[in-house]
Copies of this chain bind each other. A is one copy, B any other.
Amino acid sequence: MSSAMRPFQSTISIDEARRLIDEAVRPIERVERVTLLEARGRVLAGPAVAGVDVPPFSRAAMDGYAVVAADLAGASVEAPVRLTCIERVFTGQMPTRAVTRGTCSEVATGAPMPEGADAVVMVEETGLSGDEVRFLAAARAGQNIGRRGQDIQAGQVAVAPGAELNASRIGALAALGLTAVDVYARPRVAILATGNEIVSPGAALEPGQLYDVNSFTLATVVAEQGCTPLVVRAAADTIEDLTAAIEGCPAHDVLVTSGGTSVGARDLVLDVLKARGTVLFHGIAVKPGKPTAFGRLGQALVFGMPGYPTSCLSNAYILLAPALRKMAHIADPGRPAIRLPLASRVVSTAGRHQFYSVRIAGGKAMPAFKASGDITSMSQADGYIEIDSETEVVEAGTLVDVKFF
């Protein structure tokens, strides 16, 4: 009996792996049109140029009275100035009369300014007796007026290409009267579990079988990066079935497999990459997650993740997620790390970059790692720290950067 096990020849560093991935990844060029209510988190593909002034007319910025400021020179509580109110202008209504010396018009916040008026006096600085308004303070020309085009001028770029659309940017697009905008398409990520032992949740387990975990953790990470996960059926451990499963994937920019990248006889993802595509690397000096492959198959980039749920997911966080964000044009690196003291000493493997789960308790980061295969070492933790390959021991009390799951 001859073994087909193939030990690793060598591994590359995490930095080298990150560099090779970054070199291979290109931001998606495809564009699609979405309505403003669907635009949250999307990235604008072209400039949003204003076709109108915002606001489209000069308007009162306060509830009060539109006046000629010069009329109120010297007005005070002791010596109020009286003006005759000639009109009430509400929002959504055009004034019908011009304000001239000695007169004023009542204006609601947002109402168009009457012609002739050059200031608004807020209602709190006035008194009323019949049609006469008493003004208790002087006014400055231009006060309490929102000038036409003050916010955005017609012809200006209101939101620049590459902007991630959040509430205020979507608001700016709405202010222009737009109903839909062009955004970059979400990268499409096919997710393929491999392994004879893998069964989809819901089915009954036969002896020796396990439920598929990786398709679900990967799909979640993919969606978190603004990409579309396409979970396909698990492939059995034959070249034929794996090839058929890959060929059956819907159109995709990235293929992420789990399992089948280690040194066992049936680790076939690497064989498929070698035969039909390009291997850019295989084996990284990280823990967990060493047996990870990266390459190209047709137009798609391929991440061959280890089968162990935590190894697969930790590499999804540290390698796949940054690549997907770049493809999706998302500059924002996601949740920033929180710096906390480590609650107890961690011993790391020299020469391997380590991903280590932590729980936050009492303002400290408590090591929470159990074993590579244990999903609970992550699901019962709050986040993770990374320990570089040069570091063998991180003492209790050391400040560490925690990234949340």
Interface residues of A (CB under 8 A from B): 1-3, 5, 7, 36-37, 40, 52, 54-57, 61, 63, 85, 88, 90-94, 106, 108-112, 123-124, 128, 130-131, 146, 150-152, 158-159, 166-179, 195-198, 201-203, 205, 207-221, 223-224, 229, 231, 236-237, 262-266, 307-310, 313, 316, 335-336, 338, 370-376, 378-379, 381, 405
CB distance from A134 to the nearest CB of B (A): 12
**What are 6 sample pairs from A and B whose C-beta atoms fall under 8 A apart?**
A90-B237, A92-B237, A110-B373, A150-B373, A171-B375, A175-B213
Q: Say whether B405 contacts A201, CB under 8 Å.
A: no
Closest partner residue, chain B, to A264 (CB atom): B108
Inter-chain CA distance A370–B168, complex, in Å, is 14
Assuming A168-B379, A177-B203, what are 16 further A-B pairs, CB within 8 angstroms?
Answer: A5-B63, A5-B106, A40-B220, A63-B262, A92-B208, A92-B209, A93-B208, A109-B308, A110-B195, A152-B375, A158-B379, A166-B220, A166-B405, A168-B378, A171-B379, A336-B338
- Are A316's CB and B167's CB within 8 A? yes
Q: Are B1 and A216 in contact (CB under 8 A)?
A: no
Given A92-B198, A128-B3, A371-B146, does the pair A171, B216 have CB atoms closer than 8 Å?
yes
A210 x B338 contact (CB < 8 A)? no
The 7 A-B residue pairs with the shortest CB-CB distance, nearest first, are A92-B196, A92-B197, A168-B378, A167-B220, A171-B217, A172-B379, A108-B264
Instruction: Please report the C-alpha to C-alpha distance between residue A63 and residue B378 in the assembled complex, in whole angstroms.
Output: 23
CA A93 to CA B264, docked complex, whole Å:
14
- Please give me the residue from chain B that is nearest to A133 by CB atom: B3
Chain B neighbourhood of A37, CB < 8 A? 216, 219, 229, 231
- On chain B, the residues within 8 Å of A130 by CB distance are 1
Residues of B within 8 A of A219 (CB): 37
Chain B contacts of A40 at CB under 8 A? 220, 223-224
Q: Are A178 and B207 in contact (CB under 8 A)?
A: no
Establish whether residues A179 and B202, one from each chain, have CB atoms under 8 Å apart when the complex forms: yes
Task: Give the complex CA separation of A271 and B170 in angstroms.
Answer: 30
Chain B residues whose C-beta falls within 8 Å of the C-beta of A307 in the assembled complex: 91, 109-110
- Least CB distance from A216 to B in Å reads 4
Known: A196-B90, A217-B167. A205 touches B265 (CB 8 A): no
Contact B231 A196 (CB under 8 A): no
B170 to A109, Cβ gap below 8 A? Answer: no
Task: Say whether A210 contacts B88, CB under 8 Å.
Answer: no
A54 to chain B, nearest CB (A): 7
Given A316-B167, A375-B172, does the pair A56, B205 have CB atoms closer than 8 Å? yes
What's the minimum C-beta distance from A289 to chain B, rounded to whole angstroms?
13
Q: Nearest Cβ in chain B — how far from A247, in angstroms?
A: 22
Closest to A160 in B: B380
Which residues of B are found within 8 Å of A2, using beta-carbon distances? 128
A200 to B: closest C-beta gap in Å: 8
